[in-house]
């Protein structure tokens, strides 16, 4: 034995080439010993001439996909040996993190486009790229515990896999045409060439092709072909919701402005969908009707690169599902479910362990709008002051996502969808089991929404654990605080919370609030003047209902604007409180404003359509609408102006945004000036609206402001806030 060190490395350090990285460092610093993976991360037992330099490099250098959360070192006796060895993984466990799926790296893409044995191969990968979370079935992360287990390594791949100097050393999905997964095309009509060529030919003929990706199937068509886009909309019964697009960066730049920051996000390992402002060559309006932005992603796998290379034009690449249902992941499931949509299928035989939608992000201002492929299961550090107790939180009814707290970090899970949909509910239950098993999670408490009618809340109540019900908007505020690492004892903040709906502590439906508080508790300081949601849930689908109520309250006759609608009957029912709960919802206020300007007044074909069209219409102009004083933020003057045809409609749309921003910002600023709040936090789904966010930030110039960056401002971030509130209240109990 010899005196040495026991070094524990925690974080995202498995499946990312960390052990060969340690092996190379050991040679560089003259260290002998061994490195292994185990349930807690990476363990190094070493001795040698420059252990200090070696340990410092562990902390400051890392492979591209690694993230080091902690390096813990202690002296110990180490078995004397010559050289440095990479030894087998330890026993199963889940104290480390599974790596998110990563887009194809430059080296692998060169091989795919080259002349070697992986030329044209759709499943090339290495420790710097490729599938991870979507194929792992257990921990520790070894090939036998992934969906690559059925594919035995050929001699050439095994040599790469076992060579520490090779970038494919212990890359669990390593494969080549001789031993790995294969792709094929199923479709009608004659076609020469390989699977990708046949799929590309079908797309260029105007057909719809279902493409199996990392986290599920996409439905693809030629984005330059208006007839093909219209056909996909008709078949999928998706009349207006924007389609995502895929193309190489050079093609994206022909159709949108791309800043350096946007290029960096597009080209990063996560390869998310990024919202970009339209510019340059126009695509058919049916790609994103009425929108000023397009959602683009770069090819994330060799299969997608090959398909884009063969098609040589931008492709629509939208989730392969029945609208409202989860994304399809299995081959037989795809044939049965997507057969009514697709003319052909680009299939492969590597199973998908779990479905993941594409992440959606915006760069200016920065925000993750949907967490999915490439971002999950990446974890977030907890702010200072929180304990490492294990808690699970289940979010809300819409944009459902699960959050697990363990070892001082938060795992905010992937986007699941609306829990009213039976298949989404099944996916929620599966994700709950999956995350708990994969991360060996044993919660001491469960957090959920205050609304007892939410399925997630009911699920929480049936687990036999202490349940902590968190008010919807308090959870939004806490999520924003957590995203910004606001300490547990960082002091109160003024939270501007603008969203669709959440049950308030007074039994009414909130949605446009100014809160004052922190993780432990909040008080409501101001709110939008409430209005009845005439028709209940129908008010969220039919914007004219909200407009009629707001116009009547402003002393105007809504029948003048909404001819043929049962306005009188609606207002009478609202006055009598028949299926018309009171709400301060900012989301419904946006719907009402949009309807007044003629934007989809009859019905929204997808959530947020009216608000998104209103934002797209708005242009910058001087002045802002005046909102009321006091706790109730009145909007009557706003609606009188919205009906003034003397002002161009785009100007009215902008003034609505500016007035709403100013009304809340002025009150929040006053709380900071009075010393009651130390900062302002902007949260809730309405702050996905880039114009509203920019105007609110402008109105708060000079005041510390917190916004969402790594977590969604919408209900997709709700579970994180619930978990943090639960932890804070457990600490105070």
What is the per-residue DSSP string for 285-317? GGGSTT-SEEEEE---SHHHHHHHHHH-S-EEE
CB 153 within 8 A of CB 171: no
- Those residues with Cβ within 8 angstroms of residue 478's Cβ, 6 or more apart along the chain or in another chain: 470, 519, 720, 721, 722, 724, 725, 728
Domain of residue 23 covers 2-86
Closest CA to 695 of 610, 620, 592: 620
Same domain? For 387 and 307 the reply is no
Domain end, chosen from 361, 392, 416, is at 361
Same domain? For 194 and 316 the reply is yes
Q: How far apart are CA 474 and CA 493, in angstroms?
A: 12
Q: How far apart are CA 249 and CA 573, in angstroms?
A: 54
Same domain? For 81 and 21 the reply is yes
Q: How far apart are CA 386 and CA 464, in angstroms?
A: 24
Q: What is the DSSP pairing of strand 41-48 with strand 315-319?
A: unpaired
Question: CATH number, domain at 262?
Answer: 3.90.870.40
Is 723 inside a domain boundary? Answer: yes
Question: CATH number, domain at 39?
Answer: 3.30.70.100
Rg (CA), the chain: 27
DSSP class of residue 560 equals G
Q: How far apart are CA 416 and CA 428, in angstroms?
A: 7
Backbone angles phi, psi at 475, to 5 degrees: -65, -40
Same domain? For 187 and 329 the reply is yes
Integer distance in angstroms from the first to the last C-alpha of the chain? 49
Q: What is the DSSP pairing of strand 209-212 with strand 344-348?
A: parallel
Is 724 inside a domain boundary? Answer: yes
Q: Is 481 left (phi over 0), alpha (psi -120 to 50) or beta?
A: alpha
Same domain? For 254 and 340 the reply is yes
Is 704 inside a domain boundary? Answer: no
Same domain? For 354 and 393 the reply is no
Strand partners, 517: 493, 522
Same domain? For 260 and 223 the reply is yes
Q: What is the DSSP pairing of strand 522-528 with strand 509-517?
A: antiparallel
Q: What is the pLDDT of residue 449?
A: 98
Q: What is the pLDDT of residue 244?
A: 98
Q: What is the pLDDT of residue 16?
A: 85
**Helix-helix angle 543-553:586-596, to 10 degrees:** 90
In the numeric block, the tokens 């609202």 are attached to 574
Q: What is the pLDDT of residues 212-225, one digit of tens each?
A: 999 999 999 999 99
Q: How far apart are CA 368 and CA 708, in angstroms?
A: 8
Closest CA to 712 of 399, 501, 404: 399
**Helical ranges in 256-380 per DSSP H:** 260-267, 302-311, 331-338
Q: Which residues of the chain, if any, have pLDDT below 70? A: 89-97, 189-192, 622-623, 626, 628-629, 733
Same domain? For 255 and 387 the reply is no
Residue 14 corresponds to which tokens in the numbers above?
A: 């498995």
Q: Report CA 173 to chain centroid distance, whole Å.
A: 25
In angstroms, the Cα distances linking 37 to 14, 125, 671 are 7, 21, 51
Backbone angles phi, psi at 120, to 5 degrees: 70, 10
In the chain, % helix, strand, coil (3-state, to 5) comes to: 35, 20, 45
Q: How far apart are CA 644 and CA 638, in angstroms?
A: 10
Q: Where are the beta strands (DSSP E) in 137-223?
A: 183-187, 209-212, 217-222
Q: How far apart are CA 515 and CA 353, in angstroms?
A: 41
Same domain? For 206 and 338 the reply is yes
Is 702 inside a domain boundary? Answer: no
Same domain? For 390 and 349 the reply is no
CB 461 within 8 A of CB 406: no
**Helix-helix angle 543-553:567-575, to 10 degrees:** 70
Residues that are catalytic: 19, 37
Q: How many helices (H) and strands (E) does the chain have?
A: 22, 29
Same domain? For 294 and 415 the reply is no
In angstroms, the Cα distances linking 721 to 72, 394, 473, 487, 517 are 30, 10, 9, 14, 13
Question: CATH number, domain at 619?
Answer: 3.30.420.40
Closest CA to 721 of 480, 523, 550: 480
Q: What is the pLDDT of residues 41-53, one digit of tens each?
A: 899 999 998 999 9
Q: Is 156 helix (H, G, I), strand (E, B) or coil?
A: helix
Q: What is the pLDDT of residue 323?
A: 78
In the numeric block, the tokens 């009414």 are attached to 508
Cβ count within 10 A of residue 532: 25
CB 704 within 8 A of CB 678: yes
Residue 167 corresponds to which tokens in the numbers above?
A: 């970038």
Is 446 inside a domain boundary? Answer: yes
- Those residues with Cβ within 8 angstroms of residue 484's Cβ, 6 or more apart along the chain or in another chain: 681, 706, 707, 709
Q: Is 48 helix (H, G, I), strand (E, B) or coil?
A: strand
Residue 193 corresponds to which tokens in the numbers above?
A: 């060439």
DSSP assignment of 663-729, as one string? HHHHHHHHHHHTTS-S-EEEESGGGG-HHHHHHHHHHTTTS-EEE-SSS-SSGGGHHHHHHHHHHHH
Helix (H) or strand (E) holding 27: helix 18-29
Q: How far apart are CA 604 and CA 611, in angstroms?
A: 10
The pTM of this model reads 0.93
Domain end, chosen from 626, 659, 692, is at 659
Is 684 inside a domain boundary? Answer: no
- Those residues with Cβ within 8 angstroms of residue 688's Cβ, 6 or more apart along the chain or in another chain: 362, 367, 369, 608, 712, 713, 714
Cβ count within 10 A of residue 62: 19
Is 560 inside a domain boundary? Answer: yes
**Helix-helix angle 649-673:609-617, to 10 degrees:** 100
Longest dimension (CA), the chain: 91
Q: How many residues are present in the chain?
A: 733
Closest CA to 352 of 195, 136, 188: 136
In angstroms, the Cα distances linking 492 to 262, 471, 516, 709 are 34, 17, 6, 20
The total domain count for the chain is 4
Q: What is the DSSP pairing of strand 493-503 with strand 509-517?
A: antiparallel
Q: How far apart are CA 257 and CA 431, in angstroms?
A: 37
Question: CATH number, domain at 400?
Answer: 3.30.420.360
Half-sphere exposure of 556 (CA within 13 A, CB side): 22
Strand partners, 136: 146
Q: How far apart are CA 376 and CA 711, in angstroms?
A: 11
Domain end, chosen from 361, 392, 415, is at 361
Q: How far apart are CA 118 and CA 565, in angstroms?
A: 63
**Counting Cβ atoms within 10 Å, is residue 204 exposed (0-12), middle (13-18) or buried (19+)?**
middle
Same domain? For 569 and 430 the reply is no
Q: What is the pLDDT of residue 34?
A: 92
Q: Taking the CA atoms of 629, 501, 287 and 257 in sequence, report the sign of the dihedral they define.
A: positive
Is 136 inside a domain boundary? Answer: no
């Amino acid at each position: 034995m010899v005196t040495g060190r026991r070094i524990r490395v925690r974080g995202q350090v498995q499946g990312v080439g960390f052990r060969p990285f340690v092996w190379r460092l050991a040679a560089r610093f003259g260290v002998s010993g061994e490195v292994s993976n185990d349930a807690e991360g990476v363990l190094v037992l070493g001795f040698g001439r420059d252990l200090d330099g070696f340990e410092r490099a562990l902390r400051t250098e890392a492979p591209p996909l690694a993230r080091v959360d902690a390096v813990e070192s202690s002296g110990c006796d180490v078995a004397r040996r010559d050289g440095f060895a990479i030894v087998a993984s330890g026993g199963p466990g889940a104290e480390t993190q599974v790596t998110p799926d990563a887009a194809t790296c430059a080296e692998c893409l060169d091989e795919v486009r080259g002349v070697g044995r992986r030329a044209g191969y759709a499943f090339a990968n290495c420790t710097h790229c490729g599938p991870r979370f979507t194929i792992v079935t257990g921990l520790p992360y070894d090939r036998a515990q992934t969906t690559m287990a059925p594919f035995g390594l050929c001699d050439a791949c095994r040599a790469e896999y076992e060579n520490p100097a090779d970038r494919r050393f212990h890359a669990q999905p390593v494969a080549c045409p001789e031993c790995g997964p294969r792709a094929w095309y199923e479709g009608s009509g004659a076609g020469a060439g390989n699977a990708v060529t046949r799929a590309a030919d079908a797309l260029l003929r105007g057909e719809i092709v279902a493409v199996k990706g990392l986290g599920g199937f996409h439905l693809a068509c030629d984005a330059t072909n208006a007839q093909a886009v219209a056909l996909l909309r008709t078949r999928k019964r998706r009349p207006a919701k924007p389609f995502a697009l895929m193309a190489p960066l050079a093609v994206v730049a022909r159709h949108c402005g791309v800043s350096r920051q946007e290029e960096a996000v597009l080209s990063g390992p996560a390869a998310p969908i990024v919202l970009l402002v339209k510019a340059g060559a126009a695509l058919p309006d049916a790609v994103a009707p009425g929108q000023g932005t397009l959602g683009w992603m770069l090819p994330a796998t060799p299969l997608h690169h090959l398909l884009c290379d063969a098609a040589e034009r931008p492709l629509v690449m939208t989730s392969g599902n029945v609208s409202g249902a989860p994304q399809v992941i299995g081959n037989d499931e795809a044939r049965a479910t997507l057969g009514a949509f697709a003319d052909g299928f680009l299939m492969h035989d590597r199973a998908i362990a779990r479905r993941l939608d594409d992440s959606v992000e915006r760069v200016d201002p920065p925000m993750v709008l949907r967490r999915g492929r490439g971002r999950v299961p990446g974890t977030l550090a907890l702010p200072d002051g929180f304990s490492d107790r294990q808690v699970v939180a289940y979010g809300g009814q819409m944009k459902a996502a699960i959050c697990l707290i363990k070892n001082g970090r938060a795992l905010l899970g992937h986007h699941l969808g609306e829990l009213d949909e039976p298949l989404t509910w099944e996916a929620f239950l599966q994700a709950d089991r999956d995350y708990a098993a994969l991360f060996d999670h044993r919660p001491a408490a469960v957090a959920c929404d205050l609304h007892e009618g939410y399925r997630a809340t009911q699920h929480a109540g049936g687990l036999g654990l202490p349940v902590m019900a968190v008010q919807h908007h308090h959870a939004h505020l806490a999520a924003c605080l957590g995203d910004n690492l606001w300490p547990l004892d960082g002091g109160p903040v003024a939270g501007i919370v603008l969203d669709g709906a959440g049950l308030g502590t007074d039994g009414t439906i909130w949605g446009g609030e100014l809160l004052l508080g922190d993780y432990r508790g909040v008080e409501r300081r101001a709110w939008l003047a409430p209005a009845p949601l005439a028709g209940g849930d129908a008010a969220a689908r039919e914007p004219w209902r909200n407009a009629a109520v707001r116009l009547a309250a402003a002393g105007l006759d809504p029948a003048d604007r909404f001819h043929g609608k049962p306005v009188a009957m609606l207002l009478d029912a609202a006055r009598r409180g028949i299926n018309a709960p009171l709400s301060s919802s900012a989301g419904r206020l946006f719907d009402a404003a949009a309807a007044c300007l003629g934007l989809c007044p009859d019905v929204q074909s997808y959530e947020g359509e009216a608000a998104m069209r209103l934002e797209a219409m708005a242009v910058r102009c001087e002045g802002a609408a005046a909102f009321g004083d006091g706790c109730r933020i009145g909007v009557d003057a706003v609606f009188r102006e919205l009906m003034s045809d003397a002002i161009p409609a785009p100007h009215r749309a902008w003034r609505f945004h500016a007035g709403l921003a100013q009304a809340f910002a002025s009150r929040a600023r006053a709380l900071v000036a009075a010393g009651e709040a130390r900062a302002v936090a902007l949260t809730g789904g309405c702050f996905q609206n880039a114009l509203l966010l920019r105007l609110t930030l402008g109105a708060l110039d000079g005041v510390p402001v917190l916004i969402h960056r790594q977590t969604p401002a919408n209900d997709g971030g709700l579970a994180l806030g619930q978990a943090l509130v639960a932890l804070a209240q457990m600490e105070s109990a």
